Structure 1
Amino acid sequence: MPTGFLRRSATTAAIACLTLAGSLSATGAAQAAADRIRLGSTTDATRAIWSGPAFTMNGSGGVVPASMQRAVNNIRSGTGSLDVVVLAGSSPSSGSRTPECDTVMALAGVNSCTTWTLTRARDANNSQVNADIRNAEFVYFAGGDQCRYAAWKGTALESSVESVVAKGGGSGGGSAGHHINSSVVYDACRGSVTSGEALDDPYDPTVTFTTGMFTWPHYASTVNDSHFVARDRMGRTMAFVARALQDGLTTGGTAWGVGVEEGGSLYLDNNGLATQYGDDAYVVLGDHRPEQATPGQPLTYSNFKIWRLRPGSLYDFAHRPTCDYYLRSVTDGRPDGNLYSGTPDAPCAS
């Protein structure tokens, strides 16, 4: 099962109450490769100026209402309404066909929400898909398989999402959708890796990355991870950070892991200030190359700097802090303490 896989489940909605636009397919097959469902207004909102960008980075696949409402409010400056597009690589196995949009449509200030399910890489060049994205003000990547999303690199869809952010809209996602929004993407195209496996060999064949897709304002040199505490993923995030440094995947000699727990959402505003919602997140800084990161050998890395962000915590990605972190080291693949809790070695001055 690819990492970040999450069944996009929700309580069954009354489909008769939905505004439903039919499936589109370039081949005209009975089972459409590109499937479209639109809820809300059939006409897009129009406005010259939007006040984002804004981003939501979620630890599990579902939309977190509090952080999403804040993104909507900030992008529209608290007035008028906007349009949202949800991108998915597969359909839900049960329940509503539009679980993310069901949540989004209950928020204030939303004009419409369109779910696109794209099962082939070439669907990312579908003209209607890209028209909907470019006319939207927020794009949400659903949970699923981030390898499918990484296959959209270099397509019209990538440019369309970037255009939404550039006009003052936003982007985000949950689980696999969280992964794809970092500048270094753990793509899981060769399968999932556990923390133990990644620490025993950071060059395990399942540790593969996609770079050069999205680099959002104030969020450079990041590698995201999801379901963080529930699936014990701190160790593998440490390995990802070490690999990013060793292989030169980030700039400035630093790499930042951002792990969000299930039910958590890291909201990032247009000034680079992040607020944590729902459940915890962790920021993991590597600021030097690893002492040992060699194929077939366990990781050795001294003094990862770790910030634990509880709900309500702030973290400034524009001016990344130099205090309030705790330190953890890994020697021959073995951590030196509790990875998820610690007393700050460098507390901020009160």
Structure 2
Amino acid sequence: MSLILLLIGVLLSSTALEFTGAQSVGVCYGGNGNNLPTKKAVVDLYKSKGIGKIRIYNPDEGILQALRSSNIEVILGVPNNVLKSLTNAQTASDWVNKYVKAYSIVKIKYIAVGNEVHPGSAESSSVLPAMQNIQKAISSANLQGQIKVSTAIDTTLIGKSYPPKDGVFSDAASGYIKPIVNFLVSNGSPLLANVYPYFAYVNNQQSIGLDYALFTKQGKNEVGYQNLFDAMLDSIYAALEKVGGSNVKIVVSESGWPSQGGTGASAGNAGTYYGNLIKHVKGGTPKRPNGPIETYLFAMFDENQKPGSEIERHFGLFRPDKSPKYQISFN
């Protein structure tokens, strides 16, 4: 009898390991739509599909309520329009009390203080002070062991990206990013980066093949890369090394491909990209071969009210009726 119980225990633990190992992939939940499911239905869909990570862009209490006791790991976003207010320590403390401490049974893993803030923008001078104040409030709440404070950048901050080993932050970005990297180093936090081979491909089709962007290229190129995602990610790693961030890990906080609305945007290409990306991030990159790469797919649903060009409204993995656009497995 004890032998049977031991075998069951071994089987259960190996299943748990297998499940956890597969959980390098999360999905961003964007809410810019007037036809989307309820917050509870959204969380139920994550659970039913085995998606163990979610990124939310603002502290929406409806989705935080729905995430209670779900065991889904969360990137909680601080919207750009509140960054300035959080340069006040008391306001930052109130924010943490309201949206973090009050939801202690929500598995918040990262707080993304700002998204794609560009150097020289009105918000740029507020990012680091807001990060510092949120960090102090997290530490005061004794949560620094479980929640890491960071910010999400886009790849326009990289001045040179090819070959990837020569990746460097642009002159305009280096003064902005270096103190942020110092903060990440001293707090053991990762850098969040939104990495879109789609846009790199569309903007440079004369040099970048579609197969290289979709992970379908056979063989490596002249600098040892088989896909654009790895090349982009490694160029950020190289840039981090040059500003003292050699030990900073990158979490890919967004990556996706649109199904319509622009060049190369088709359901076929998008399905290929998402399916291959999920498989690929179980491993590493040439520069950082030890995977998995924690990656958040963008996004859960098409967002019919999202501003910008037409493609912005077609990044969803699911339709608003919760039916899948693509035949892909998240595990």
Q: What TM-score, normalized by structure 2, do the two folds share?
A: 0.38
The structure with the greater share of residues assigned to helix is 2
Higher relative contact order (CA 8 A, sep 6+): 2
TM-score in terms of structure 1 length: 0.37
Task: Identify, as 1 or 2, the structure richer in strand.
Answer: 1
